Amino acid sequence: MVRKRRAVDREELQDRIFAFAIQTDVEDDSFLLQPIDFDDPEQVRYCIDGLTLAFITYCYHRHPRGENYYEVMQQLEKTKPNSAARRRLRRRADQAAAKQIPFIITLNKLLEEYYRLRKTLEQFVATSDVAK
């Protein structure tokens, strides 16, 4: 019974790795979209490295270009209340936030999944290291 549950867990884990790879826009021929042998610690480590690289690459390439909301807000704090400059900065801050907030929400979800995947994969490596 334990063996069957572990096989299901591996299948689910594999599906989650595929989903993460797709969400982070890896190339179609990426090894992350190929089945992983969870009994091979080197392959699991390679997968962890690939997930890390996919996450970092996603952050770099998908980060919205444009003004930094926090920098605009700092400028806004230095302006006179009810001034034209303050209104312009407020619009710029709103536009920056409109671009950045959806990205940050997605990024947080990806980071949480990355953490869970990494911890689970590290358990496979630790288990294989203990078995040696």
pLDDT digits (tens, 9 = 90+) for 54-107: 999 999 998 888 888 889 999 999 999 999 999 999 999 999 999 889 999 999
For residue 37, give both structure tokens. Answer: 């042998």
> pTM here?
0.79
Mean pLDDT of 11-39: 96
Quick check: 96 and 72 in contact, CB under 8 A?
yes
Quick check: 28 and 9 in contact, CB under 8 A?
no
For residue 131, give both structure tokens. Answer: 């078995």
H helix count then E strand count, the chain:
4, 0
What are the domain boundaries of the chain? Answer: 2-131
